[in-house]
Amino acid sequence: MTEQLVELNVTGMHCNNCAISVHRMLEKKGLQNILVDFAGEEVKFSTADASAVPGIIKDIEGLGYHVIEDLSAHQEKFYQKVESKFIFCAIFTAPLLLHMVLPWHWLHHASVQLALCLPVFIVGCLHFGKSAITSIKSGVPNMDVLIFIGSTAAFIYSLVGTIQNLGGQYQFYETCATIITLVLLGNLFEKRSVTQTTSAVKDLVKFQQVEARRIVNGEIEVVNAKEIKSGDIVLVNTGDKIPVDGDILEGSASVDESMLTGESVPVEKQKYDSVIGGTILQSGNIRIMATKVGSNSVLAQIIDLMKRAQAAKPPIQKLGDKVAAVFVPAVILIALITFLLTYFVFNGGLQNSLMHAIAVLVISCPCAMGLATPTAVMVGLGRAAKNGVLIKGGDTIEAVANTKYVIFDKTGTLTTGKFALRDIKTYGDVPVESARGIIAAIEARSNHPIARSLVEQLKAQPQEKLILKTVSEEKGLGMRAEDVQGNHYFLGAAKDGGDSNYNLSLYKNQQLLAQIAIQDDIKPGAANLIASLKKMGITPVLLSGDKASRCNDVAQTLGITSIHAEKLPDEKLAIVDVYKQKGKTVMIGDGINDAPALTKADVGVSMNDASHIAIQSARVILLNTDLNSLLFFLQVSKHTLLTIKQNLFWAFAYNIVAIPVAALGFMSPMFGAFTMAFSDVVVIGNSLRLKIKRISPPAP
């Protein structure tokens, strides 16, 4: 049976523990390709049985979350909002706290305090209690279990004292209400902060939400871009967002592609050129034919890639996840031991024993560990995407740590890839017009950048036309052809014979016919890139199938000392493997011809435009041609990993210090709740610093 991809919008998940709960439940049901993004409120999975989906939705909602049709149209009810719950609780909690300073004796009355605390406790039971019970059912108890137990213990203790009229030492209603109110405040800040971490994806989604002018029978109708189908004709005017991917049928324009590449300079587009949905037409008017719509568009693929990347866990997160999974039971055990030791060993009495135990429960914070990695990854990947660098997963960020070697393909990476025909040298009595005709006929059948450049430049030069019967390409070698008279031709980077100053050799029936010299200029900024890498302690390596003389010239100009020239694709693989044995290796190439070598490296980087092939071929895609984007990728990865380590250190250190302090009675439950509520905010705030943090490589 065919696997069906199911995408659900799920609200109510507020941290990584929530995502783990849903993930485990779906795993138990045998589902495949599971992706749970708590920040993006999205759940994806594959199933061969479509009839099981309603039952799965029911099970997700049974965990306490809500499956909705459309996130953009979804509006939380007033009483469901964390903001509303906090304000409501704060109104009743304020007089409970103020009774200690205000001279209003009626506030000290137990029944008045019960009346003020009861509404807050009910909200706490509905908000934390429901979440706590469902998390226990799923086998992944979350932070709400600790809050619910702590606030309930304080409330019941106070209620018993009130019913039995045991006096003021049994009145801790303000502790119960304050715990709930402060944690709700922390949830509020956490919710708003997490929303900011996913802003990059949301910004890209906005580019999809545009109207289109579709031309039907000569008439223009305005429709939502989602309604455009492949083959539709669309009119785009100055200032419009291009609604879908397409090819220009009529007109010319300047297009701002900065939302994809980070490059602010507009790109000039002519008839037959391709345009990408979501980019902005700065000037001109064009008619395009839609080619890729919906989930097949470049923008949709990039959004999906980013969502999956943000959900991919780097290895460093595994420790945090393991600790978080056993954290809540461990804290409950510590709280119980604290109560027993204080009461029986240190004779602290029931009141002190209970307060110490409650303080332990409410000060501990497993969410900080759960949020430490994903929030940093989301911000880091988002900042990279806004600068034209697509990183496939948080695991890639850790994979480039301590990089020792960066291996460069030459053509189109360190050089422009735009080839200028410098000279054609013929042998024997072969006329140059004949050689041009053979070259043009053979290269017209290839999509290689060199072939396209040669064909374009030979069009304007005199040549003898040649009709070919068959043409085949030998990857990494060149082109073979046969004409209608049965003559056999080979055009490629031959390693023997001829002048070494020429890049390509043309053979007819195994006899050298001509040689072609082509010029491929070094990219601006290439020398600066190599110098910066050396400053960072990284060894640059040149790996190319081009002639040794040309590779040596480029390497000498740029300051590269490790050179591997005239290598076939299988030889490139072996060389990449050798460097991997010596240290972390990043390979950067064009994303198409170098796909095997890119896959072999620790991290493959595609130096390409926003094509579908590029999106699929490497773990990192540089959407603009500026070589500095590679340095930016290395630096943003370094700073993101540093932020993750800082977050995990804070999360662990906070709990290691705070729990014993609370257990020894040096911190009241109210102050413990206040501290816990803001521990998550500290972690998320540190992650958000990545948005504005100065990220620059060392000066070469």
Q: Are 243 and 223 in contact (CB under 8 A)?
A: no
List the Cα angle 330/331/337 in 5-degree steps. 90
Distance CA 411, CA 615 (A): 19
Length of the chain: 700
Tell the residue number behind the tokens 């393909």, with chain if given. 409
Catalytic residue chosen out of the listed positions 144, 245, 395, 409: 409
Among candidates 230, 123, 242, which has minimal Cα distance to 177? 123
Q: Are 406 and 322 in contact (CB under 8 A)?
A: no
Residues facing residue 391 across a β-bridge: 620
Element (H or E) spanning 230, and its range? none
For residue 389, the SS3 value is: strand
- What is the residue type of 441? A
Distance CA 388, CA 638 (A): 17
Q: What is the CA radius of gyration of the chain?
A: 32
Strand ranges, E, within 456-568: 468-474, 478-483, 488-492, 504-508, 511-522, 539-543, 562-564
Q: Are 26 and 45 in contact (CB under 8 A)?
A: yes
Residue 409 a catalytic site member: yes
Task: Specify the DSSP class assigned to residue 273.
Answer: -
Dihedral of the alpha carbons of 555, 391, 195, 278, in degrees to the nearest 10: 90
Q: Give residues with Cβ within 8 angstroms of 425, minimum separation 6.
A: 499, 502, 514, 515, 516, 517
Task: Specify the DSSP class assigned to residue 241.
Answer: B
Tokens of 558: 């740029």
Q: Are 643 and 376 in contact (CB under 8 A)?
A: yes
Q: Are 494 and 482 in contact (CB under 8 A)?
A: no
Instruction: Please give the backbone phi and psi of residue 588, each rounded to the nearest 5 degrees, phi first.
Output: -125, 125
Distance CA 507, CA 212 (A): 53
Active-site amino acid positions: 409
